[in-house]
Amino acid sequence: MQHVSGRRRPSSSGSRSPGLLEFDESRRAGRALLAGLDEAGRGPLAGPLVVAAAILPPGLAIPGVDDSKKLRDRARRKAFEAVQESAICWATGLVEPHDIDLMGISRATRTAFERALGGLSIKPDICIIDGLPMAGLGFAAEFVVRGDSRSLSVAAASVLAKVTRDTIMIEADRLWPGYGFASNKGYGSPEHMEALRRLGPCPLHRLSFAPLSSPGLFD
């Protein structure tokens, strides 16, 4: 599953803390297109891993866009719409729970990054990824610790990934009621753990993740 926007170059009016945009401009170094990438859902017990990639117009500030973890849900969804409208292009790459169990989380993360980048309608000149360096990627990238708090493009990707995954988990709550997916988003909350003991796992659960991988969990 991938989402890609069309091209659009809106007005750059509006205020935004200049640090995020200045970071991206410093990394471009004359190269026109920079893609920010970030993931959501690496650690939960259920649901897909989602990576988003976003290419923003050079010099464009997008009011309200920040590290998705700093934003409340309403502000995050508003930022999601702003990124969709402003980005030159964007895409998401997903890895489903069954494939996470087969691949392991490290390979699944690399795969999701490659799917997101491959979904872009335009190929970037440089990629920035939030986090520590990751070996084995099929493309060149600069890894930036706390990149979602330093780069506007990575912050935009973090919003796209988080809102996309949250929407999937809200729908999953309707398909597999009882686990509280709409509120816990697949993380191991007390409500979720109690439901697992009562109902057992559903197709969205990652059976290779502890404590699901523990043979005594459902006794």
Q: Is residue 26 within a helix (H) or strand (E), and if so which, with residue range?
A: helix 18-28
| Residue-number span of the structural domain to which 89 is assigned | 18-199
Residue 26, pLDDT score:
83
Which of 35 and 10 is assigned the larger pLDDT?
A: 35
CB atoms within 10 A of CB 173: 17
Distance of CA 7 to the CA centre of its chain: 21
Residue 40 lies in a domain: yes
Residue 7 lies in a domain: no
Residue 199, pLDDT score:
95
Close Cβ partners of 40 (under 8 Å, ≥ 6 residues apart) = 49, 50, 51, 52, 68, 158, 161, 162, 164, 165
Edge-to-edge strands, sheet with 142-144: 89-95, 49-55, 34-40, 126-130, 142-144
Residue 31, pLDDT score:
65
Which of 140 and 79 is assigned the larger pLDDT?
A: 79
pLDDT 10s digits, 159-201: 999 999 999 999 999 999 999 999 999 999 999 999 999 999 9
Whether 83 contacts 156, CB under 8 Å: yes
Residue 89 lies in a domain: yes
Residue 211 lies in a domain: no
CATH, residue 62: 3.30.420.10
- For the CA atoms of 114, 96, 69, 21, the dihedral, rounded to the nearest 10 degrees, stands at 20
Residue 156 lies in a domain: yes
What does pLDDT average to over the chain? 88
Residue 212 lies in a domain: no
190: left (phi over 0), alpha (psi -120 to 50) or beta: alpha
Residue 13 above 50 pLDDT? no
Residue 204 lies in a domain: no
Residue 8 lies in a domain: no
Domain count, the chain: 1
pLDDT 10s digits, 17-30: 447 888 888 887 76
